[in-house]
Amino acid sequence: MAKMLSFALFTALFYHYRMRSVKGNKTIELSVPEITEIARKYNKTHVDLGTGDGRFIYESALKDPHTLYVGIDPAEKQMREYSVKCVKKKLDNALFLVSSIENLPDDFSEIADVLTIILPWGSLLGGIVRGETVIIGKVAGIIKRGGEISIVLGYSAELEPSESERLELPELTPEYVENTIAKAFSARITNINGIEILDYSKDKLGDIGSNWAKKLTFGRDRKLYSLKILTKL
């Protein structure tokens, strides 16, 4: 019985500390230490959380070969197209990891010099907007000391009524972003250096390198906010 329990514990720990990675048409497994080892080969690591199809990762890796770009999203199939493109272009500085924010391993921490969350959706959006301690803590834990978190928010209860109702999303205003979201991050990041909250122009969405962002540039007007969090070394 003891041996069976030990084997079960070993198996649970083994899978807990490994992540699925989309590599072209294949899916491989990487441990967090293996990901960290890959990151050491580059000047910086940029993590894009809720990356969607991964176009942002692909285009960024093409432009900047000295930075490791890591896209994380729970939708494995969605990232396949741009992962295949990365393989064809031999972009070793692009990683596509399969995970939701809730299932991100605890040791996936202090990895990113830059963390972007661009127009999040689902539980990631709900957790950030409502200032949920667990989600905010997971997000904050990814960034290195001296790193930067950049978040772009822009949902609309009028344009996305079913999702807004399902996630119980409040109306976004500058006051709400400052008093709820920014304060939630301030409570979780002890070495915070400053938080900048700005209205975000819809015209800038086309520069992001995301298919969803580009679609929104042609859609109806909506309020967009940029939240930039700087940390101290």
Report d(CA 36, CA 218) in Å as an integer. Answer: 39
Tally Cβ neighbours within 10 Å of residue 32.
18
Q: Which residues of the chain have pLDDT under 50?
A: 1-5, 8-16
Q: Please, which residues bridge with residue 225 across strands?
A: 153, 199
The angle that helices 122-129 and 133-142 make with each other, rounded to 10 degrees, is 100
Residue 59: alpha-carbon gap to chain centroid: 16
- Give phi and psi for 119, each to the nearest 5: 50, 60
Q: What is the pLDDT of residue 154?
A: 82
Report d(CA 108, CA 21) in Å as an integer. Answer: 14
Strand pairing report for 44-49 and 112-118? parallel
Q: What is the pLDDT of residue 10?
A: 47
Q: Which residue, chain included where needed, has tokens 């197209």?
A: 81
Q: Are 183 and 131 in contact (CB under 8 A)?
A: yes
Q: What is the pLDDT of residue 171?
A: 87
Q: Are 217 and 223 in contact (CB under 8 A)?
A: no
pTM across the whole model: 0.87
Tell me how many degrees the CA angle 144-107-10 measures, rounded to the nearest 5: 165
